[in-house]
Structure 1
């Protein structure tokens, strides 16, 4: 498996970690980055396929990328690696990302790690408290407020808790666009309890040496 190029010989990744948030994708990113046959974007969470063409005000983090040329620049360091990837958890829940990925890199392999919805939502709540964007300190009350926030177009999406953690419809967007053989879905529990087995299965999926053991 070689790196993916479009007809103009522009470099793109050939695999993506598409989600989900609070499900160990940062650990997965670092495990994969250790493999000598894998190149990972030096920026985690560039979010290009969710943000393409949007103004800078749409970016919630300074390192996010909405410009194609800037995105391509993430992969200038590719040498002889077989698997070229990046990780952006925005892709699982963004409605535009699946179609943009299909447009630019239709042969890409896609990896999703899912966490139990209740655990994920509570973790997100704590993250919001830490970032001082959640004014409600009680989780049950914040959940109820999240229901109202779903109706408010000005509400931060990260505070709309009922929207978080419902995977079926979001994954179905990808299964509708990509062959099943290009998609792998894992559970966060597997990463926690059988991390080496899961990581080596991903190595096999990416067609790199599956005997490699990351730190």
Structure 2
């Protein structure tokens, strides 16, 4: 039997979502979708538009064709067997789609919303390292930022598709529609830096917020590392596709696969450092949003403005 999800971990991207999702799915009172990031509610929001534009209809057609779990039938099958759980949830980056908040509230007005926040410059650097690992970029980070960000800031960027990558760091602005829809008590905000340093404390705090067993200690694995492969093609091993690879992966328990992936990436990737000048440039852009976020969560975030280098961790 499947149920309507009532718990949504909505992001952000490169903010430890894989690590947190793994911890959540281990709790006996939480049933998380076995497929991470089904992203069902993005096309579902488009389906419910009264008068969609041509562009919106084209986007819906693309989303339905590009994802297996984008239609209601396929999506709700993910939650079969969830009848005994207090919370039925999924992890998708809905944070970047403000209209989705209304659609989810229509379906589940009392839904719990979880968001993980990160220093926005570090978040963007981590996204860069992910593309570097995949071989999708070869430039240094300063060039990567200049290519997609400086033109936007100066108002000369012709390609609007470059804008969202920079805007993913405007976390206060992105969170507000969700708080407006669900109320502050139903939106839980956690800091990535605490997830790095004290993951079990973060887990216990989330479980306490959900009013479920908060002494449950999940296994913690930081899986999604980024960087430059030390040897060409080496970091693609865990992304290998095909029937043989799928059969082999099915034989390995999921948490074991994640531990192996984490260890392999740790050994096979070189992680460059972010130069202070680029970080200062980014934090100047994000400054006002961070100050508003600081007030919202009543937490001192001044250390985010330090122009220091750091390695990507999760």
- What interval of TM-score do these two structures reach, taking the shorter chain for normalisation? 0.7 to 0.9
The change in CA–CA distance for 1:95 and 1:60 in structure 2 (over 3 A counts) is farther
In 1, distance between residues paired with 2:71 and 2:162?
Answer: 23
SS in 2 for 1:184: strand
The change in CA–CA distance for 1:104 and 1:121 in structure 2 (over 3 A counts) is same
Q: Which residue of 1 aligns with 2:13?
A: 21
Q: Per-residue deviation at 1:164?
A: 2.5
In 2, distance between residues paired with 1:32 and 1:144?
Answer: 37
Q: Per-residue deviation at 1:55?
A: 3.6
Q: Per-residue deviation at 1:130?
A: 2.8
RMSD of Structure 2 on Structure 1 (CA): 2.3
Q: Which residue of 2 aligns with 1:143?
A: 145
2:192 alignment partner, one of 180, 184, 188: 188
In structure 1, the gaps of 5 or more residues are 1-8
TM score, norm. by length of structure 2: 0.59
Q: Per-residue deviation at 1:96?
A: 2.2
TM score, norm. by length of structure 1: 0.84
Q: How many pairs were matched up?
A: 201
Q: Which residue of 1 aligns with 2:30?
A: 38
Deviation track 1:157-185 (CA, whole Å, cap 9, x = no partner) reads 7xx54222110111011111111111110
SS in 1 for 2:34: coil
Q: Per-residue deviation at 1:140?
A: 1.3
Q: Which residue of 1 aligns with 2:119?
A: 116
SS in 1 for 2:10: strand
Q: Per-residue deviation at 1:95?
A: 2.9
Higher RCO by CA contacts (8 Å cutoff, separation 6 or greater): 1
Q: Which residue of 1 aligns with 2:63?
A: 58
- 1:207 equivalent to 2:211? Answer yes
Deviation track 1:176-211 (CA, whole Å, cap 9, x = no partner) reads 111111111000011111111110111111221111
Deviation track 1:49-90 (CA, whole Å, cap 9, x = no partner) reads 123245452379645x3212221111112131111111112x
